[in-house]
Amino acid sequence: MKEIYRKTSIFGYIVGIGLLLFGILYYFIWFEGFSVNGDDLIQVGISGVFMLGAGFYFKNVHDKFVEVDAIESEWNMEGIGELNLKRVPSILPKFVHVDHDGQPLLQIRPSEGQLRRVFLCFPILEKGAVFPVEYDISTMDGALLATFRIQNSVKQFTLTLKKPDGTVIGTYIQHLTKSAMKNRGTLYHADGSVWRQLEANNMAGDIDILDEEGRRTASYRYGLFPYAAHPAFQSTAHHEHVSFGSHISLEEKLSYIMIFFFWLAV
């Protein structure tokens, strides 16, 4: 979270100063009078002050943030029982999973080696709106855990999860006509057999996924965050929390990470 606060602060400073400078230029070049285009000038000025204030706010949060030393022996993907994905302000999309202390454990970034990744600086393209996109799930030191591909064929979204060696783990298909109001889709094994059926309980996206025996494999909650009162998360209001069943496999966890990343409204 400390990196997120630092980069958010920098983003606020840059945008705020840029808007204020633009407001000054606007006043001397395009401004005709408050009765003509004064509203535009006021909106630019207020936005600039707001973003500059956000920069100062997150700079103060960053300076007060106390990092907790990570215990390396506790880190293992199979032992992770939850998912708290947070976006890191950057040119290309980058997300980190943080624990209850705000310490990063794994990351999701566009896969290296694809030329089209440079176009992912445009948010509209992040979920495969124009061309298929690929993301890596890796540890914070870069060790690859899995790769997934998002493809939008107009009628449906197809997400394919692969091991580092390229072996397909599973495929998730979400039809646009059936998920216009709330997320729903089907997760398939590599052999094409149905793995899990997923359907959100409401438009907020809350969901509980059960296996054949009725045991909970994963739960997704928007706005219900168990660590909202912890110092690491008090300064942010947007939280989406995922908890995993203790009995599910590593491959199933990676599948849910792929799907819930796709569901993120950021």
The CATH number linked to 247 is: 2.40.160.200
Instruction: Looking at the structure, tell me whether residues 43 and 100 fall in a common domain.
Output: no
> What pLDDT is stored for residue 102 in this prediction?
76
227 vs 262, higher pLDDT: 262
State mean pLDDT over 188-200.
Answer: 92
What is the pLDDT, as a whole number, of residue 81?
85
> Is there a single domain that holds both residue 54 and residue 78?
no
- H or E stretch including 97? strand 95-98
Do residues 182 and 116 share a domain?
yes
Cα–Cα separations (whole angstroms), residue 81 to 30, 56, 59, 248, 260: 56, 35, 31, 10, 15
> Could you tell me the residue range of the domain that residue 28 belongs to?
2-64
The pTM assigned to this predicted structure is 0.75
So what's the pLDDT on residue 220? 85
Judged against a pLDDT cut of 80, whether residue 192 lies above it is answered with: yes
pLDDT at 74 over 50: no
Q: Tell me which of 41, 64, 87 is where a domain ends.
A: 64
Whether 22 and 133 share a structural domain: no
Task: Please tell me whether residues 82 and 128 are part of one structural domain.
Answer: yes
Please tell me the predicted confidence (pLDDT) of residue 71: 44
| Of the residues 30, 45, 64, the one at which a domain ends | 64
Residues 57 and 138 in one domain: no
Structurally, how many domains does the chain consist of?
Answer: 2
| 107 in the same domain as 196 | yes
Same domain for 209 and 91, yes or no, is yes
Report the percent of the chain where pLDDT is more than 70: 84
Q: Which residue has the tokens 């973003």?
A: 51
Q: How far apart are CA 120 and CA 142, in angstroms?
A: 20
Average model confidence (pLDDT) across the chain: 81
- Residues 60, 84, single domain; the answer is no
Of 17, 44, 64, which marks where a domain is finished?
Answer: 64
Integer Cα distance of 220 and 184 in angstroms: 13
> Strand ranges (DSSP E) for 167-233?
168-175, 184-189, 194-199, 207-210, 216-222
User: Residue 127 above 90 pLDDT?
Assistant: no
State percent of the chain over pLDDT 90.
23
